[in-house]
Amino acid sequence: MAGRIWVPDRRDIIWIDCNPQAGREMKDLHPMLVLSPRPFNDRTSIVIGLPMTTAAYNDTNPFAIKFQGPKGKTSYILAHQPKSFDWRARSARAHPWKQAPLEVFAAACEQLNQIIAIAE
């Protein structure tokens, strides 16, 4: 039996190359929290998500969701920088952390909604 082909899914943490970038956007290879569901990502090759970083200055960023990774590494999900990328063209791959905890994912979605006010 052949294995299922990997496609990013909602709540997954993936590696994605953010280049090219402009201004204050993130650049280079970064983890990203996937917001869009697997069927959408598979059909369109587009993934919608929030970039992640370990940069400690985000500790005072009101739009960053702070959480501890599996080995206690502090990471920040940047809810104020939603992105969409062609994950196939950018050779995205699974991150070792696999998925964000449910409560962290919910907090990221809530923070994003406070910014864009889709669900009131």
Which pLDDT does position 25 carry in this prediction? 75
Give the pTM.
Answer: 0.90
The string of pLDDT tens digits covering residues 21-77 is: 888 777 889 999 999 999 999 999 999 999 999 999 999 999 999 999 888 899 999
Which pLDDT does position 6 carry in this prediction? 95
1 pLDDT exceeds 70?
A: no
Which pLDDT does position 28 carry in this prediction? 85
Pairing status of strand 12-17 against strand 46-53: unpaired
Ordered structural domains, the chain, with CATH: 12-116 (2.30.30.110)
Which pLDDT does position 11 carry in this prediction? 98
Q: Tell how far CA 64 is from the center of its chain.
A: 12
With 0-12 / 13-18 / 19 or more C-beta atoms within 10 angstroms meaning exposed / middle / buried, residue 100 is buried
- Is 33:52 a contact under the CB 8 Å cutoff? yes
The string of pLDDT tens digits covering residues 88-120 is: 999 999 999 999 999 999 999 999 999 988 766
Which pLDDT does position 50 carry in this prediction? 97
* pLDDT (mean) for 2-9: 85
Find, among 63, 2, 66, 11, the residue nearest to 36 by Cα: 11
Please state, in angstroms and rounded to a whole number, the distance separating the CA atoms of residues 3 and 97: 21
Q: What one-character-per-residue DSSP string does 4-70 give?
A: PPP---TTEEEEEE--S--TTS--SEEEEEE-S-HHHHHHHSEEEEEEEE--GGGGG-TTEEEEE-T
